């Protein structure tokens, strides 16, 4: 690519960061995705973004798919390309968006892994032996109580909590959207106990959950602590923080049957993202049916 094309790509990222204020995670993904597209253009000796056609995008996506990239990742890459070309169109730098109608190959949608109510109880009722475990329990209770994403939990500040109102505010969820969530009684008790021990490095540190050094806890640390919690408490199943969010959604939907409410609590912009939990609910009902209905049981030979 020539220097002008490279500058246009950099300008796009500057606009995303400063004007649209996208998250660092999204910005990093887009930068990586468009780097792959730039490498493709260099191999094809394409100098300007205006030279790319839909067939070129399809070839690039096919190449990435052969390299083992999943459908979900390819959809994200296409989203990055569409966003970039929309920026170029808006600034009259190209005349068409070659990625507009290109689709990623379809993949089988995997159902999220969840825990049943007894498993969650065993995880959260295991007891604490140290200040760090008091903190950990508060985090895990909050995951299950309010259905937080991992990023939302580590970004949580003291000012976002209103324990007297039994609620919290997610300031910037996925897509930069905020929402208010209820907090369950057990999670409130666990948080109150942690706040009694919370010691920040300095008064400017506002994070709810801190490392042992008094700094904001990072996502990898939360994942590691949950893994260590399971090992220490004798829980054989590997549990990812997102499994607690999925369990929250699945258990709430089973009890309430209110898909819209679960959508709001999870912060899903599209209800199709929430509908996957109806499949989990049906899977549970189907298993009950197979085990209980006299005409569904297989006869032994």
Q: Which one from 64, 76, 245, 251 is the annotated catalytic residue?
A: 245
Q: Which one from 36, 65, 242, 284 is the annotated catalytic residue?
A: 242
**Which H or E run contains 179?**
strand 179-182
Q: Is 64 a known active-site residue?
A: no
Q: Is 245 a known active-site residue?
A: yes
CA quadruple 129, 130, 131, 137: dihedral positive or negative? negative
- Kindly give the residue spans of alpha helices, DSSP state H, lying in 211-296: 219-232, 241-256, 259-266, 271-274, 276-292
Question: Is 140 in contact with 124 (CB distance < 8 Å)?
Answer: yes
Give the position of tokens 């996957």: 276
For 270, list phi and psi in degrees, rounded to 5.
-120, 130
* Rounded-to-integer distance, Cα 291 and Cα 301, Å: 18
Q: Is 135 a known active-site residue?
A: no
Q: Which one from 60, 76, 135, 149 is the annotated catalytic residue?
A: 149
Q: Quote the DSSP letter at residue 20.
A: S
Number of helices and strands (H, E) in the chain?
13, 3
Q: Is 60 a known active-site residue?
A: no
Residue 211, classified by CB atoms within 10 Å of its CB into exposed (0-12), middle (13-18) or buried (19+), is middle
Q: Which one from 65, 174, 186, 233 is the annotated catalytic residue?
A: 174
Query: Any idea which residues carry the catalytic annotation?
Result: 149, 174, 242, 245, 268, 277
């Amino acid at each position: 690519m020539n220097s002008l094309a490279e500058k246009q790509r950099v300008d796009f990222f500057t606009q995303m960061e400063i004007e649209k204020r996208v998250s660092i995670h999204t910005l990093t993904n887009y930068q990586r995705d468009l780097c792959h597209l730039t490498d493709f253009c260099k191999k094809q000796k394409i100098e300007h973004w205006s030279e790319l056609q839909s067939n070129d995008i399809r070839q690039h996506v096919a190449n990435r798919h052969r390299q083992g990239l999943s459908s979900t990742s390819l959809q994200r890459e296409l989203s990055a390309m569409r966003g970039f070309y929309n920026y170029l169109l808006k600034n009259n730098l190209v005349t068409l968006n070659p990625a507009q109608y290109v689709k990623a190959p379809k993949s089988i949608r995997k159902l999220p892994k969840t825990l049943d109510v007894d498993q969650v109880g065993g995880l959260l009722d295991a007891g604490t032996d140290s200040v760090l475990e008091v903190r950990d329990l508060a985090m895990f209770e909050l995951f299950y109580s309010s259905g937080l994403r991992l990023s939302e939990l580590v970004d949580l500040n003291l000012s976002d909590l209103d324990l007297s109102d039994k609620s919290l505010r997610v300031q910037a969820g996925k897509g930069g959207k905020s929402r208010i969530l209820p907090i369950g009684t057990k999670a409130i008790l666990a948080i109150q106990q942690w706040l009694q021990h919370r010691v920040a490095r300095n008064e400017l540190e506002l994070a709810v959950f801190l490392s042992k050094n008094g700094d904001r806890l990072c996502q990898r640390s939360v994942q590691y602590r949950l893994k260590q919690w399971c090992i220490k408490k004798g829980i054989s199943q590997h549990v990812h923080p997102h499994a607690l969010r999925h369990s929250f959604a699945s258990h709430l939907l089973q009890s309430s049957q209110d898909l819209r409410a679960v959508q709001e609590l999870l912060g899903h912009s599209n209800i199709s993202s929430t509908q996957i939990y109806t499949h989990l609910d049906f899977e549970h009902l189907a298993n009950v049916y197979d085990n209980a209905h006299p005409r569904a049981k297989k006869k032994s030979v």
